[in-house]
Amino acid sequence: MTRFLSILILLATLCAPSLGAKNVVIDASVGRPVPGATLFTSKGLISTTSDSKGRYTAPSVDEYPILVRALGFENLRVESPVDTIRLTPKPIELAEVTATPASDRNVIYVRAYIREYQTVIIEGDSLKSLFEGNVDYFLADEKVKGFKDSRSFRLLYNRARIEDRKDGKKTVTEKEGVECLFSPVVNMLAEFPKPIEIPADLRGRRAGSEADKAVWGSTRIFTKGPEGYTLTLDPLADKELHDWSPAWLKLLGMTSTFTQLTRTFKFGPSESGVTHIPSYCIEGFSAATCFVSSGKVIKKACHTDEPVEFLSYIEVLPYQIDFLTADEAKKLRKQPVVMREVFVPEKLRPASHRPEPAPAAAVTEN
DSSP structure string for 202-229: GTTPPTTSTT--EEE-SSEEEEEETTEE
Distance CA 258, CA 303 (A): 21
Q: Residue 190's pLDDT band (boundaries 50, 70, 90)?
A: low
Q: Strand 46-49's sheet: what is its strand order?
A: 46-49, 38-40, 66-69, 76-78
- CA-nearest of 244, 197, 204, 241 to 220 is 197
Residue percentage of the chain with pLDDT more than 90? 18
Assess whether pLDDT exceeds 80 at residue 114: yes
Tell me the CB-side half-sphere exposure of residue 173, using CA atoms within 13 A.
Answer: 10
Confidence of residue 235 (pLDDT cuts 50, 70, 90): confident
Output 214 or 153, whichever has higher pLDDT: 153
The residue type of 178 is: V
Is residue 190 a contact partner of residue 206, using CB atoms and an 8 Å limit?
Answer: no
Pair 272, 257: CB distance under 8 Å: no
pLDDT, averaged across the chain: 78
Q: Which amino acid is at 126?
A: S
Q: Please, which residues have CB within 8 angstroms of residue 138's CB and are 6 or more apart in sequence?
A: 107, 108, 109, 110, 147, 149, 150, 324, 329, 332, 333
pLDDT at 25: 96
For the whole model, what pTM was predicted?
0.81
For the cut 80, the answer to whether the pLDDT of residue 260 exceeds it is yes
pLDDT of 149-181, one tens digit each? Answer: 777 788 888 888 889 988 888 899 998 875 554
191 confidence band (pLDDT: 50, 70, 90): low
How far is the CA of 46 from the CAs of 7, 75, 127, 293, in angstroms?
Answer: 20, 14, 10, 16
Q: Which of 9-13, 21-25, 203-207, 301-305 has the highest mean pLDDT?
A: 301-305
| Type of residue at 366 | N
